[in-house]
């Protein structure tokens, strides 16, 4: 195997051209050319990607001189101790005023890590997508929640917060945001479907999709890995409405046998079609008996429900 590998490497260094022998004094010009063989090496033998063309990589530390100024790359210990300090990069970026703006980042454990971070920065400059390689998905979700609190309705934000805290953080908090893939989300959904209902899993997944889409819009991610990974929205079971006779029987049963304090509330809901949250949000200012309608700003809707036959009829 080693002999074969050496032969392949030797052949790979052969120039990629067809050569002709120059005719000597005893040869004619009709001599047959010989072709030099070129064999491509396997991909695994190819050289690693070259470092970014722009910027520079260097080592620096946080030591200070007797005047409390940082040594940075000038620290004398760096040359003697290879474990001292960390790797850093610096690169000039364009600025709106036309002056030179140098971006420096330190704290990388190896030269390769610094080169990777520099490559990501330059890619972000070219494409407009600045993906932080160190940002964890959990930290981003917390940041997204805090930013959305002032722009969402309290109930909507509470639902997002519940999904993030109960389902998303335990599953994705430790994964770097740039490394989150669709397969991670799909595997999580399959494990959750074995424990919870589809509506619950769908709500948590749609929260994750909304958060990642915000990162795409902010140019912090190149694409949304949850965009096509979330299960389809579960369809609600077909509901059968009561007939007027059944609704009247329900109300009579409540009044006769239970003296339920919510019986009047049930009667309003049956007579108007108002939903639970809407009827619980009613104030006396929203009740217009003379106009035979209910509703207003207090119950969160811009229109009113007209009550046929008057309030209290059935």
Do 144 and 213 lie in one domain? The reply is: yes
Most confident segment among 46-55, 69-78, 168-177:
168-177
Taking residues 118-145, what's their average pLDDT? 86
Last residue of a domain, one of 76, 103, 127: 127
Residue 37 lies in a domain: yes
Taking residues 197-208, what's their average pLDDT? 95
**Residue 43's pLDDT band (cuts 50, 70, 90):** very low
Higher-pLDDT residue of 28, 216: 216
pLDDT in tens, 68-79: 898 888 898 998
How many C-beta atoms lie closer than 10 Å to residue 55's C-beta? 21
Higher-pLDDT residue of 274, 314: 274
**Residue 44's pLDDT band (cuts 50, 70, 90):** very low
pLDDT at residue 171 greater than cutoff 50:
yes
Residue 235 lies in a domain: no
Do 142 and 198 lie in one domain? The reply is: yes
pLDDT at residue 151 greater than cutoff 50:
yes
pLDDT at residue 17 greater than cutoff 50:
no
Tokens read off for 275? 């939903």
Do 119 and 143 lie in one domain? The reply is: no
Last residue of a domain, one of 99, 127, 155: 127
Do 36 and 103 lie in one domain? The reply is: no
Taking residues 136-143, what's their average pLDDT? 95
Residue matched to tokens 């959990």 = 138
Do 60 and 41 lie in one domain? The reply is: no
pLDDT at residue 97 greater than cutoff 70:
yes
**Residue 144's pLDDT band (cuts 50, 70, 90):** very high
**Residue 310's pLDDT band (cuts 50, 70, 90):** very low
pLDDT for 30: 43
Structural domain of 37: 2-21+31-45
How many C-beta atoms lie closer than 10 Å to residue 163's C-beta? 23
Do 289 and 249 lie in one domain? The reply is: yes
pLDDT for 304: 55
Residue 267 lies in a domain: yes
Residue matched to tokens 């690169």 = 91
pLDDT for 33: 44
Residue 278 lies in a domain: yes
Which residues are paired to 102 by β-bridges? 92
Residue 313 lies in a domain: no
Residue 227 lies in a domain: no
Residues 302, 5: Cα–Cα separation, whole Å: 78
Domain count, the chain: 4
pLDDT at residue 309 greater than cutoff 70:
no
Residue 159 lies in a domain: yes
How many residues can be counted in the chain?
A: 314
Last residue of a domain, one of 74, 105, 127: 127
pLDDT for 174: 94
pLDDT for 8: 42
Residues 216, 227: Cα–Cα separation, whole Å: 11
Tokens read off for 120? 């990501």
Do 146 and 209 lie in one domain? The reply is: yes
**SS3 for the chain, per residue?**
CHHHHHHHHHHHCCCCCEECCCCCCCCCCCCCCEECCCCCCCHHHCCCCCCCCCCEEEEEEEEECCCCCEEECCCCHHHHCCCCCEEEEEEEECCCCCCCEEEEEEEECCHHHHHHHHHHHHHHHHHCCCCCCCCEHHHHHHHHHHHHCCCCCHHHHHHHHHHHHHHHHHHHCCCEHHHCCHHHHHHHHHHHHCCCCHHHHHHHHHHHHHHHHHHHHCCCCCCCCCCCCCCCCCCCCCCCCCCHHHHHHHHHHHHHHHCCCCHHHHHHHHHHCCCHHHHHCCCHHHEECCCCEECCHHHCCCCCEECCCCCCCC
pLDDT at residue 63 greater than cutoff 50:
yes
Residue 198 lies in a domain: yes
Question: In this structure, are residues 204 and 167 in contact, taking their beta carbons and an 8 Å threshold?
Answer: yes
Do 110 and 144 lie in one domain? The reply is: no
**Residue 302's pLDDT band (cuts 50, 70, 90):** very low
pLDDT at residue 261 greater than cutoff 60:
yes
The whole-chain average pLDDT of the chain stands at 79
pLDDT for 289: 78
**Residue 46's pLDDT band (cuts 50, 70, 90):** very low
């Amino acid at each position: 195997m080693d002999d074969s590998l050496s032969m392949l490497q030797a052949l790979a260094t052969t120039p990629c051209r067809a050569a002709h022998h120059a005719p000597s004094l005893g040869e004619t010009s009709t001599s047959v050319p010989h072709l030099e063989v070129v064999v491509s090496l396997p991909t695994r033998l190819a050289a690693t990607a070259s470092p970014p063309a722009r910027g520079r990589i260097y080592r620096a530390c946080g030591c200070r001189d007797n005047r409390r100024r940082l040594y940075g790359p000038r620290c004398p210990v760096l040359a003697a101790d290879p474990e001292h300090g960390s790797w850093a990069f610096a690169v000039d970026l364009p600025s709106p005023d036309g002056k030179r703006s140098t971006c420096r980042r330190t704290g990388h454990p190896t030269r390769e890590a610094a080169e990777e971070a520099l490559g990501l920065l330059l890619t972000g400059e070219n494409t407009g997508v600045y993906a932080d390689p160190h940002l964890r998905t959990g930290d981003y979700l917390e940041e997204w929640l805090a930013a959305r609190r002032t722009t969402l309705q309290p109930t909507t934000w509470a639902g997002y917060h519940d999904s993030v805290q109960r389902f998303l953080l335990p599953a994705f908090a430790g994964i770097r945001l740039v490394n989150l893939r669709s397969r991670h989300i799909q595997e999580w959904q399959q494990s959750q479907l074995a424990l919870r209902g589809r509506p619950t899993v769908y709500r948590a997944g749609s929260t994750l999709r909304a958060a990642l889409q915000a990162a795409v819009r902010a140019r912090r991610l190149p694409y949304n890995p949850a965009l096509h990974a979330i299960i389809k929205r579960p369809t609600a079971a077909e509901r059968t409405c009561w007939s007027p006779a059944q609704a009247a029987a329900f109300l009579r049963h409540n009044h006769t046998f239970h003296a339920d304090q919510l019986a009047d509330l049930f009667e309003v809901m049956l007579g108007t079609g108002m939903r639970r949250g809407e009827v619980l949000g009613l104030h006396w200012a929203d009740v217009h008996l003379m106009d035979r309608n209910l509703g207003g700003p207090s119950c969160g809707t811009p229109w009113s429900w007209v009550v046929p036959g008057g309030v209290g009829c059935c």
